[in-house]
């Protein structure tokens, strides 16, 4: 919004407002823009705007290449139509072609955030909806006639620049604008030489850069001019704000681009008015600026369900008032995509997966070269090595070191690298799981008690499981995943998340047992505390370096604690068991790492520092938190438990090699009988792998390269056999770490309107981060001198963060919190609008009971039946169809595929009848609806069986 100011005899425009999506005004101090806010318009101004377009000049697809030419064309048309007196030509031209001074000058005292902003625009990603930059230029000149005194009204006196200025080219506001944006300039004001308004709406045939007209070097597509008699400046200002708001509306801007004549524009305003919500005067303060919403609702819901061509209407006359309201729309149907279609051919799904993923293979590598990938690698790497060390240690205890930390490192590196290189979904991270650990423990005990060689038996189980996976792939058995609705997915992912959280807390509680807090220490009695080393009562010689040492020659009072115990002495005193408060320090490291990670992850939504710096801090939040508390641990110098990494490349058990031979140690029938336990392992692998894949491939993640359930299972089967031959642990998709991998690679729009939250664009799909993570895991034995400085509590804090973060966005968790909320404080979830609260609580209670049963059984020997328990969730979900209506399940869960087909079949006849009615209505009204939006509204109301508007 530019206001014409007079400085002596000179006139100039001064910018005072702008729109991208939301309105910004120049504050009264004139040195900064206001916070972006939602434009609040008076209903009267919209009706006045409608009148202006009815009575003014509308020029569409004007061939204009400079502002003077465009102004001449507008004035000439007004004179030809008898709307303007010829003697006013020069006065109007003089006013419209004054110089524009934009709000680019910065105050002397600037914030650190402003100083840190880059001057260049940089690469920007354009959101899905085109934005329009609006300069609303207002003339407020009550003495305009005196401004013309002594001036020759010739073209040489024009002040507006024909070329772009340096300020325009260097304007940092360009970073907020999409690359393909176009400008709409609105000139509104009052002059005292007019008796009636001068109104013009112009659409240029080609977007043209009009010199110094706009604040930024963006080509102009639209011009709206309103000059009127004095005394109505406020009214003209509101009309200008009205057209500005309309032009940033997605539906009206589409109408403006496609309109064929004046009536199409007026129809677009009428449709906009149908969607306007009026706030009664006196019940709210119009001075309050409404904050932009955190998530701008899509315009698709305002569009009619019928396309413009189907309705036979001209461009711009269809649109927003049709269709169901948001509250009446049914949720999107449960659909997992064509990847799980049953082909009925041998390996049909596998071949389709390969065909789908092969074209993306090159981009899966070069798209990984991004700074965001570095933070993802560091984060996932630390999670993987922590998990490998923890699982390797437990596996070593369970199998008498036939498999240990070294085997865990090597197996993680080998399996993960191969899977990320060739799988259908490389964003999935492979890891060992708790049920596999239970199975290995039971298998080792069975082998030991029955005199069967454990490693050879395990090899044959792996071979049979590999063959069974191949059979599942060949028969497209992954089709069963279609029947896993949100009920099963959320139950499984919640269980794994709670396991991560409980394990992290359990390990921290263990530190209080090993390093108890010294609650008996009293500073006032420090002088009475002592610990002495007393010699043993029965003297015995101690051999040291092949030389007999008599203990009577030792000065026992000078020996250290280790030496005292070494020489057989005894420690006596009330401080002999004193240790520093390592448990308290461990808790500080643990909780500090988690808290700092959460805080820095949210830093990108902070108000401090430039956008790029905030995003960089958010991306590297986990790495920064780890380095901060590793440094704090080194600074304090306490001997907190550290990460222990193998330093030599050799099997954990000395009497075994790296290759397991298939024959020679067990009876022949063992090779065949191992098919039975292998079947249980296969079910475990299949369910764990495919459910994790479904969670990773959710449509909310906006993955564009597709997935490959069959290809993933194929490589998991291959790796089962390879790891069995090498005596390495078995690996399957790790749900929590895979979700963390997805979250660390999420992309957001770098170019967003002021006040608009960055739009989620999808995930950086590539193979490079996963490959680097597992390669680093493999070479970690050479990084032991560095990794030994990382305290284990810090890594437990990372585990806690991964578990908590994976719960975000799970509807089940949100419904659990509803139990503790009074109704008036409950969030406005869509399912609460359509399903009674008591039914929501009942559904949640069923999920809690199922989760509790899974948790209890997981903690017992029956954990080996974990995959059967997951299949049990499918049975429970099927039984819920008898308790809940399909309407309720559609909102709080998903409709099963079979039910969906039956419902469509029942509604088939009704839909055919409706289509016939629609065609009949379109045929009857095809002549009149071309120009009249009211007829379209009547027709749309008839189609939806509503009252006409």
Residue 2: pLDDT above 80? no
Mean pLDDT for the stretch of residues 841-866: 80
Range of the domain at 420: 348-514+586-809
Lowest mean pLDDT of 79-83, 317-321, 403-407, 640-644, name the range.
Answer: 317-321
Higher pLDDT: 30 or 26? It is 26
Is the same domain home to 835 and 859?
yes
Q: What is the mean pLDDT of residues 133-148?
A: 41
Distances (CA, A) of 269 to 21, 276, 305, 335: 18, 10, 20, 38
Average pLDDT, stretch 913-928?
Answer: 45
According to DSSP, residue 10 is labeled E
464 and 391 in one domain? yes
Q: What integer is the mean pLDDT of 885-899?
A: 77
**How buried is residue 36: exposed, middle or buried, by Cβ count under 10 Å (0-12/13-18/19+)?**
buried
The helix/strand/coil state of 26 is strand
Separation of alpha carbons 132 and 250, rounded Å: 10
Phi-psi region of 147 (alpha: psi -120 to 50; beta: other; left: phi over 0): alpha
Alpha carbons 838 and 696: distance in angstroms, whole number: 31
- Of 241, 275, 309, which closes a domain? 275
Gap between the Cα atoms of 147 and 6, Å rounded? 8
Q: Is the pLDDT of residue 284 over 50?
A: yes
| Rg value, the chain, Cα | 36
Q: Give the lowest-confidence range in 114-118, 427-431, 649-653.
A: 114-118
Helix or strand (DSSP H, E) at 693: helix 675-696
**pLDDT of res. 157:** 41
308-322, 334-348, 708-722, 883-897: least confident range: 308-322
Q: Quick one: pLDDT band at residue 201, thresholds 50, 70, 90?
A: very high
Q: How confident is the model at residue 926 (pLDDT cuts 50, 70, 90)?
A: very low
Residue 120 has what pLDDT?
39
Helix (H, G, I), strand (E, B) or coil at 756: coil
The CATH number of the domain where 254 resides is what?
Answer: 3.40.930.10
Q: Is 13 within 8 Å of 149 (Cβ atoms)?
A: no
Task: Please answer whether residues 199 and 57 qualify as being in contact, where contact means their C-beta atoms are separated by less than 8 angstroms.
Answer: yes
- Domain endpoint, select from 258, 275, 292: 275
Percent of the chain clearing pLDDT 90 (strictly above): 2
pLDDT band at 862 (very low <50, low <70, confident <90, very high): low
Closest CA to 1 of 162, 27, 147, 94: 27
**pLDDT digits 0-9 by tens, 404-417:** 778 888 888 888 89
Average pLDDT over residues 152-180: 59
Residue 498 has pLDDT above 80, yes or no: yes
pLDDT digits (tens, 9 = 90+) for 539-576: 544 444 434 455 556 667 667 777 777 777 777 776 77
Mean pLDDT in residue range 215-240: 85
User: Which residue, of 785, 809, 833, is where some domain finishes?
Assistant: 809
φ, ψ dihedrals at 747, nearest 5°: -110, 145
Q: pLDDT digit string (tens) for 729-774? A: 888 888 878 888 888 888 877 656 666 667 778 888 888 888 998 8
* pLDDT classification of 947: cutoffs 50, 70, 90: very low
Q: Assess whether 778 and 838 both reside in one domain.
A: no
Say if residue 686 is in the same domain as residue 805.
yes
Residue 752 lies in a domain: yes
**The residue count for the chain:** 949
pLDDT exceeds 60 at position 244: yes
Are 540 and 551 a contacting pair, CB within 8 Å? Answer: yes
User: If DSSP codes are grouped into helix, strand and coil, which group holds residue 496?
Assistant: helix
Contact 255, 316 (CB under 8 A): yes
837 in the same domain as 721 = no
Instruction: Summarize the confidence of residues 616-642 as an average pLDDT.
Output: 83
CA distance 75 to 495: 72
Spatial separation of the C-alpha atoms in residues 106 and 170, rounded to whole Å: 13
Per the prediction, the chain carries an average pLDDT of: 75
- Going from the C-alpha of 909 to that of each of 899, 903, 915, the distances in angstroms are 17, 11, 10
pLDDT digits (tens, 9 = 90+) for 650-692: 777 777 778 878 877 778 887 888 888 888 888 888 887 888 8
- Range name among 776-785, 879-888, 929-938 with the lowest pLDDT average: 929-938
108 found inside a domain: no
Structure tokens at 49: 């705007």
pLDDT at 112: 53
User: Based on the domain organization, do 755 and 874 belong to the same domain?
Assistant: no
Count of structural domains within the chain: 3
Quick check: 110 pLDDT over 60? no
Highest mean pLDDT among 178-182, 388-392, 811-815, 908-912 belongs to: 811-815
Looking at the domain assignment, is residue 911 inside a domain?
Answer: no
Same domain assignment for residues 771 and 817: no
Confidence of residue 203 (pLDDT cuts 50, 70, 90): very high
What does residue 703 show for φ and ψ, rounded to 5 degrees?
-75, 135
CB of 759 closer than 8 Å to CB of 554 = no
Q: In the structure, what pLDDT confidence band is assigned to residue 129 with cuts at 50, 70 and 90?
A: very low
- Interhelix angle 582-601/621-636, rounded to 10 degrees, is 160
Does position 133 have pLDDT exceeding 50, yes or no? no
Q: What is the pLDDT of residue 143?
A: 34
Q: 158 to each of 10, 162, 263, 544, how far by Cα in Å?
A: 12, 10, 35, 103
Tokens 């509807």 map to which residue?
Answer: 811
pLDDT value of residue 109: 47
Give 182's pLDDT tier (boundaries 50, 70, 90): confident
Q: Name the band, by pLDDT with cuts 50, 70 and 90, for residue 301.
A: low
Let me know whether 709 and 739 are in one domain: yes
912 in helix, strand or coil? Answer: helix
Task: Tell the burial category of 62 from Cβ atoms under 10 Å away from its Cβ (0-12, 13-18, 19+).
Answer: middle
Q: Name the E strands within 757-804.
A: 760-763
Helices (H) and strands (E) in the chain, counts: 36, 18
- Which position has the token pair 């001075």? 287
- Output 305 or 878, whichever has higher pLDDT: 878
Residues 253 and 226 reside in one and the same domain:
yes
Give the number of C-alpha atoms closer than 13 A to the C-alpha of residue 797, restricted to the C-beta side. 27
pLDDT at 452: 80
Which residues are 190's β-sheet partners?
A: 140, 228
Whether residue 286 has pLDDT greater than 50: yes
Position 427 in a domain:
yes
222 domain residue, yes or no: yes
Task: Tell me, yes or no, whether 356 and 471 share the same domain.
Answer: yes
Q: How confident is the model at residue 942 (pLDDT cuts 50, 70, 90)?
A: very low
Q: Which residue has the higher pLDDT, 736 or 579?
A: 736
Tell me the three state secondary structure of residue 767.
Answer: coil
CA distance 791 to 639: 9
Given a cut of 60, whether residue 701 has pLDDT beyond it is: yes
**Residue 22 in domain:** yes
- Predicted local distance difference test score (pLDDT) of residue 352: 86
Mean predicted confidence (pLDDT) in 585-597: 88
Q: Are 801 and 598 in contact (CB under 8 A)?
A: yes
| pLDDT at 381 > cutoff 50 | yes
136-140, 224-228, 848-852, 884-888: lowest mean pLDDT where?
A: 136-140
Is residue 126, in this structure, part of any structural domain at all?
A: no
Pair 804, 822 in one domain: no
C-alpha distances in Å from residue 729, one per residue of 266, 336, 737: 70, 31, 18
My answer on whether 817 and 804 are in the same domain is no
pLDDT for 851 beyond 80 = yes
Greater pLDDT, 465 or 859: 465
Give the integer Cα–Cα distance in Å for 623 and 312: 58
Phi, psi of 5 (to 5 degrees): -115, 145
CA distance 686 to 468: 10
Please tell me the predicted confidence (pLDDT) of residue 794. Answer: 85
Q: Which helix (H) or strand (E) holds 189?
A: strand 182-190
User: What are the tokens at 470?
Assistant: 């191949």
Q: What is the distance between the alpha carbons of residues 691 and 686, in angstroms, rounded to a whole number?
A: 8
Q: Are 236 and 138 in contact (CB under 8 A)?
A: yes
Q: Does residue 316 carry a pLDDT above 60?
A: no
Is 913 within a domain?
no
The CA dihedral of 713, 718, 721, 723, to the nearest 10 degrees, is: -90
- Strands 547-549 and 430-431, bridge-based pairing: unpaired
Question: Residue 795 and residue 387: Cα distance in Å, rounded?
Answer: 10
What is the pLDDT, as a whole number, of residue 325?
42
Q: What is the mean pLDDT of residues 425-435?
A: 82
More confident residue, 136 or 940: 136
Strand partners, 139: 189
Nearest to 273 by CA among 242, 307, 294, 248: 242
């Amino acid at each position: 919004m530019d206001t014409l100011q007079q400085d002596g005899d000179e006139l100039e425009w001064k910018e005072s407002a702008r729109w991208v999506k939301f309105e910004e005004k120049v504050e009264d101090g004139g040195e900064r823009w206001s916070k972006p806010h939602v434009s609040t318009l008076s209903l009267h101004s919209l009706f006045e705007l409608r009148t202006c377009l009815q009575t003014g000049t509308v020029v569409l697809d004007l061939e204009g290449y400079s502002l003077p030419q465009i102004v001449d064309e507008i004035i000439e048309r007004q004179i030809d139509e008898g709307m303007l007196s010829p003697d006013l030509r020069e006065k109007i031209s003089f006013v419209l072609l004054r110089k524009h001074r934009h709000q680019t000058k910065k105050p002397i005292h600037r914030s650190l955030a402003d100083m840190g902003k880059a001057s260049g625009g940089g690469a920007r990603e354009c959101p899905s909806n085109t934005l329009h930059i609006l300069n609303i230029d207002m003339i407020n000149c009550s003495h305009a006639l005196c401004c013309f005194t002594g001036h020759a009204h010739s073209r040489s006196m024009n002040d507006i620049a024909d070329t772009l200025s340096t300020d325009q080219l260097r304007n940092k506001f360009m970073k907020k604008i999409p690359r393909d944006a176009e400008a709409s300039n609105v000139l509104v004001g009052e002059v005292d030489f007019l008796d009636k308004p001068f109104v013009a709406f112009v659409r240029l045939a080609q977007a043209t850069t009009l010199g110094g007209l706009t604040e930024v070097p963006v080509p102009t597509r639209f011009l709206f001019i309103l000059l009127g008699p004095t005394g109505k400046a406020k009214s003209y200002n509101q009309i200008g704000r009205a057209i500005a708001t309309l032009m940033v509306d997605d539906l009206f801007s589409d109408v403006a681009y496609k309109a064929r004549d004046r009536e199409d524009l007026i129809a677009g305003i009428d449709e906009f008015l149908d969607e306007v919500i009026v706030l009664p005067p006196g019940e709210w303060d119009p001075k309050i600026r409404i904050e932009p919403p955190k998530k701008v609702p899509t315009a698709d819901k305002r569009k009619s369900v019928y396309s413009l061509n189907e309705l036979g209407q001209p461009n711009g006359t269809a649109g927003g008032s049709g269709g169901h309201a948001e509250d009446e729309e049914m949720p999107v149907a449960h659909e997992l995509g064509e990847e799980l279609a049953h082909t009925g051919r041998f390996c049909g799904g596998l071949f389709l997966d390969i065909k789908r993923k092969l074209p993306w293979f090159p981009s899966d590598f070069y798209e990984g070269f991004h700074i965001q990938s570095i933070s993802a690698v560091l984060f996932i790497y630390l999670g993987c090595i922590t998990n490998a060390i923890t699982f390797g240690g437990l596996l070593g205890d369970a199998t008498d070191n036939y498999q240990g930390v070294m085997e865990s490192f090597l197996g993680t590196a080998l399996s993960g690298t191969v899977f990320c290189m060739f799988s259908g979904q490389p964003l999935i991270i492979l890891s060992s799981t708790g049920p596999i650990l239970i199975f290995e423990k039971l298998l080792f005990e069975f082998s030991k008690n029955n005199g069967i060689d454990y490693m050879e038996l395990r090899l044959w189980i792996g071979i049979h499981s590999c063959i069974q996976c191949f059979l599942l792939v060949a028969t497209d058995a992954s089709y069963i995943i279609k029947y896993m609705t949100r009920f099963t997915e959320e139950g499984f992912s919640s269980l794994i998340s709670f396991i991560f959280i409980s394990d992290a807390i359990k390990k921290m509680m263990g530190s209080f047992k090993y390093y108890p807090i010294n609650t008996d220490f009293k500073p006032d009695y420090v002088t009475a505390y002592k610990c002495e080393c007393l010699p043993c009562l029965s003297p015995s010689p101690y051999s040291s370096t092949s030389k007999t040492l008599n203990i009577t020659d030792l000065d026992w009072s000078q020996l250290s604690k280790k030496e005292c115990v070494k020489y057989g002495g005894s420690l006596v005193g009330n401080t002999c068991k004193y240790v520093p408060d390592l448990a308290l320090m461990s808790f500080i490291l643990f909780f500090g790492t988690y808290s700092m990670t959460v805080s820095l992850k949210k830093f990108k939504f902070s108000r401090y520092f430039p956008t790029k710096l905030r995003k960089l801090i958010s991306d590297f939040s986990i790495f920064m938190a780890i380095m901060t508390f590793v440094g704090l641990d080194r600074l304090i110098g306490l001997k907190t438990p550290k990460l222990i990494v193998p330093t030599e490349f050799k099997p954990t058990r000395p009497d075994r090699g790296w290759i397991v031979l298939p024959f020679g140690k067990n009876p022949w029938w063992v090779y065949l009988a191992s098919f039975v336990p292998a079947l249980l392992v296969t079910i475990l692998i299949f369910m764990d792998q495919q459910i994790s894949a479904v969670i990773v491939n959710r449509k909310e993640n906006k993955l564009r390269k597709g997935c490959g359930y069959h290809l993933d299972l194929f490589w998991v089967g291959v790796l089962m056999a390879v790891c069995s031959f090498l005596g390495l642990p078995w690996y399957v998709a790790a749900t929590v770490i895979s979700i963390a991998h997805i979250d660390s690679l999420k992309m957001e729009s770098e170019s967003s309107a002021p006040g608009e939250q960055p739009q989620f664009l999808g995930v950086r799909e590539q193979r490079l981060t996963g490959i680097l993570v597992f390669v680093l895991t493999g070479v970690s034995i050479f990084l032991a001198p560095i990794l030994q400085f990382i305290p284990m509590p810090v890594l437990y804090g990372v585990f806690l963060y991964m578990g908590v973060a994976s719960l975000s966005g799970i509807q089940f968790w949100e419904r659990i919190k509803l139990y503790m909320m009074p109704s008036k404080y409950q969030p406005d979830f869509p399912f609460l609008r359509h399903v009674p609260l008591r039914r929501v609580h009942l559904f949640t209670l069923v999920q809690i009971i199922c989760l509790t049963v899974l948790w209890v059984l997981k903690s017992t020997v029956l954990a080996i039946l974990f995959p059967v328990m997951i299949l049990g969730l499918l049975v429970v979900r099927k039984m819920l169809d008898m308790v809940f209506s399909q309407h309720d399940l559609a909102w709080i869960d998903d409709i099963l595929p079979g039910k969906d087909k039956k419902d469509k079949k029942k509604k088939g006849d009704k839909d055919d009848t409706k289509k016939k009615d629609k065609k009949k209505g379109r045929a009857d009204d095809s002549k009149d609806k071309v120009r009249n939006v009211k007829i379209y509204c009547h027709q749309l109301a008839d189609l939806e069986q509503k009252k006409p508007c």
